[in-house]
Structure 1
């Protein structure tokens, strides 16, 4: 079914809520939700998947329920080396701890679909016995031909199968299978899918596009010829057996939802509640590319983004918490859990603007620096050591981070202040060269001569006052001192610079700058 077709059916409806209406005694929750995050290890965890995981986590924790992790790894050809471990590491880094899943186990293990083949075979047999499924022995060439002919119809359709093998008797099908003929197993779909309710989009009636003169059937594959299940089959079986109550996933899965509901009902099961969240787009309204690597969680971590900032950023992609007194968009994970409600989810595509991410990161970074977070100070030290040509002490590294922390958006930017740890000043930088064109050398030397007597007991403000009384412009004084101390690099205040450098180093730099200017 095309996205164009189903999108026209997404008419605004009154949204349902998991939470009851608020009363004077507060919010009363319904029974705990069991949610799951079921990624395919076909790539590293990216922003879209992180948001899906986060919303499922928030809903589970908001209602006192459980958050499960399950690996959907049945598409063996597309598996990426290291992707599974990356999923584990990224979720842990973000603080999203699963209650059941790989590594920790649980009552519904295994939680890796490739380890559940016998389970899927059992339920395949049930559908074959009940007549809700049948074996398909059609060759790839025949199926390709059917798909091509379906595309030539007016209008074209992705529903292409003609149910050729659905007309085989069970005896004929069993004989072909016993003779070793390769087959898949298809679901025998009804002519009309049932309506369903999405907690975000409301009541939906999504039907496959069937040509009135060339009838095809939406008999999708359940089990592939390699005896592995398709996503459509495995996720329904697993969600039922793992007692999932709510499925939060991307809007791209909306067209598949009627297939899944039909499968639930073929087994006589109740389907979970569905919540399909909007796509993530760039600021130019283009769908984010998963393949570029720029939106991988790992990449953000390498760029110095903190997990609490990334989680805060991602939470607002399609969720607008209610405004209250003192309300702020800045929320840690515990605050997000407390505030999360399905009613506050939004339908429009969510634009990913990293300006907001850096705003959050600066806030959380300053919090960490203020409480002298060991991890941040260690990270700053490691970065400075990698960048520096000379030996750097941990003490000086920590002092530098405290000094410039209010200017940093990410801890990675600490290397931009490496010059403060150098024993000498580079007077040939762009900033320094520009300074040399603004104030005559004679004036600079005259100003600097007032500061050559700088000692530990000297009040720098007194020396500046003396220099002003000698007829010098205060603005020029600060510019000249900045040139002498750090080569005119803007940012820090002169008293802060002298305090950090130390009087001895500051005086040496002043003397060296005079020699350079002479």
Structure 2
């Protein structure tokens, strides 16, 4: 690549960052790092009516959580500051004036009421009103007004917008890295507004100007912007600028593949669609986030990377560095990618198995204190984590899988009790209790050897002893090796639980 690669992630702070937007950021990041380029964060906040308090910080926090470190942005200024469009308003008017002077744009003074009336008239005839090359010469704009009349209106402060003058009957051939060649005929396009009546540029215009001034070489964005691609290419051409290369990413689809994944899908089926928890500042409604649902950021990043891309191999687990090394835009799919909540949990399970037991024990210790009010020593928790780690996907699963390490059972699974506890079980348990109470060595190995030898000497079936033991300690037929549980609980707790089971199940 001739020029140093520069890409940008340019979200609007209108709410929480959807995982579709996060994937766009990820692909931009991977492409930049793959080519030793620059990853820019630009906040596109020109639409102040949709601005949501806290959304901008949310975007930054989400990128940080995922390890997508920006090279330039609002809190990391570079040579192209500022990186918030609301702070760049003084820049855009110059280029809008350039388009007007060159005949590529014009002032439009049509009121909202007038345009609404025209729309209704067309609708009454079963037609659609579009402000375009077919009717612009009959509307209230500078194309039809004299220069003096137009200047008079501007001097008087009459409300106006600036519209792009779409070329007539022009056939465009546009290249997209993912989509290939795209043909568009300009007759089908309307004269988009570039500058709004509030004096702020629209996304279409500010986006083009900023990408040019920030020397963006590749625009990697969602396919919802494909309909705007022709306009953007024409704007570059009208301003005499070279356009960057474009790549439009496929949608992330609902689990059933029918339509774009939405917040409602997550709420309905019980999975997050946002990287972090979000509380709506207006309604107070809380939306779940992957971080607060105890997902590891590495698992989320890995999952998102494969939603629309693969490296042509069967490999599924990639570190961020591996993704950087293998990422290629030409391997991004055109078709939408179905979101799979179960596969997302699979990724989480794979990654949590890689986390060291010390870290997991510390996380579980905090969870126990907050959620259960239980203070437990870290050494004990390290042993619990070691026994249960392979069974869990999230930190709270340690409780689901090992609650009996912290609370003695107060009731017993009826089905398991019927199977494990027979008429002679209480006597057998009493003998085991007497045997174990005499042991000074309470290691797993010693207990296992002692109890097994006793079972053999008594010529009792192994299950007749081990099943009621597990039931007494756990309350159910679940959990890791029984001797591991006995050793970890200790002699006093072991005897106490056996006695409770005898009194309860007799």
Q: Given the two structures, how large is their TM-score scaled by the length of structure 2?
A: 0.88
Is 1:264 the equivalent of 2:251?
no
Aligned length: 475
Match in the other structure for 1:50: 22
Distance 1:489 1:55, change over 3 A: same
How far 1:153 moved relative to its partner?
7.0
- 2:180 is matched with 202
Shift of the 151–353 alpha-carbon distance from structure 1 to 2, 3 Å rule, reads farther
Cα distance in 1, alignment partners of residues 332 and 193 from structure 2: 33
Alignment-derived partner of residue 394 in structure 2:
410
Q: CA RMSD in A?
A: 2.2
Partner of 2:308: 318
Following TM superposition, by how much is the alpha carbon of 1:426 offset from its aligned partner in structure 2, in angstroms?
A: 1.8
Tell me, in whole angstroms, the C-alpha distance in 2 between the residues paired with 1:465 and 1:152: 93
**SS where residue 368 of structure 1 aligns?**
coil
Q: Which runs of 5+ in 2 are unaligned?
A: 277-288
Instruction: Say if 1:497 and 1:150 are closer, same or farther in 2 by CA, change over 3 A.
Output: farther
- Which range is displaced more, 95-104 or 451-460? 451-460
Identify the range of structure 1 (185-194 vs 265-274) with the bigger mean alpha-carbon deviation: 185-194
1:297 aligns to what SS in structure 2?
coil
- The equivalences for 1:31-180 within 5 A come to 31-149=3-121, 156=128, 162-163=135-136, 164=139, 165=141, 166-180=143-157
Q: Secondary structure at the match of 1:194?
A: strand
Contact 2:254 2:262 in 1 (8 A): no
2:498 pairs with 1:502: no
Q: 1:334-371 deviations in whole A, cap 9, x for unaligned? A: 0000001122111111011022211111111111135x
Query: Is the aligned partner of 1:289 residue 2:262?
Result: yes
Q: 1:138 to 1:160 in 2, by over 3 A?
A: same
Q: Name the structure 2 match of 1:344.
A: 331
Deviations for 1:431-489, whole angstroms, at most 9, x for unmatched residues? x2222222444233133123202134343243134335535432343321111111115
Partner residue, 1:435: 416
Q: Provide the C-alpha distance between the structure 2 equivalents of 1:258 and 1:94, rounded to a whole number of angstroms.
A: 33
Distance 1:423 1:319, change over 3 A: closer
Distance 1:288 1:230, change over 3 A: same
Cα distance in 1, alignment partners of residues 102 and 206 from structure 2: 18
- After superposition, the Cα gap between the structure-2 partners of 1:167 and 1:351, relative to the gap in structure 1 and judged at 3 Å, is same
Question: In the alignment, is residue 447 of structure 1 matched against residue 424 of structure 2?
Answer: no
1:403-455 deviation per Cα after TM superposition (whole angstroms, max 9, x unaligned):
21111111232232462343532225xxx222222244423313312320213
Match of 1:486 among 470, 474, 491: 474
Mapped contact 1:150–1:159 kept (Cα < 8 A): no
Q: Distance in 1 between matches of 2:350 and 2:64?
A: 22
Larger RCO of the pair (alpha carbons < 8 Å, separation 6+): 1
TM-superposed deviation, 1:159: 5.5
Partner of 1:190: 167
- Runs of 5+ in structure 1 lacking a partner? 1-28, 211-216
CA distance in 2, matches of 1:516, 1:366: 38
CA distance in 1: counterparts of 2:187 and 2:122, whole angstroms: 11
Counterpart position of 1:329: 316
Partners of 1:451 and 1:507 within 8 A in 2: no
Q: Deviations over 1:55-103 (max 9, x none)?
A: 1111110001000000011111111221111100000000001111110
Q: Is the 8 A contact 1:303 1:412 kept in 2?
A: no
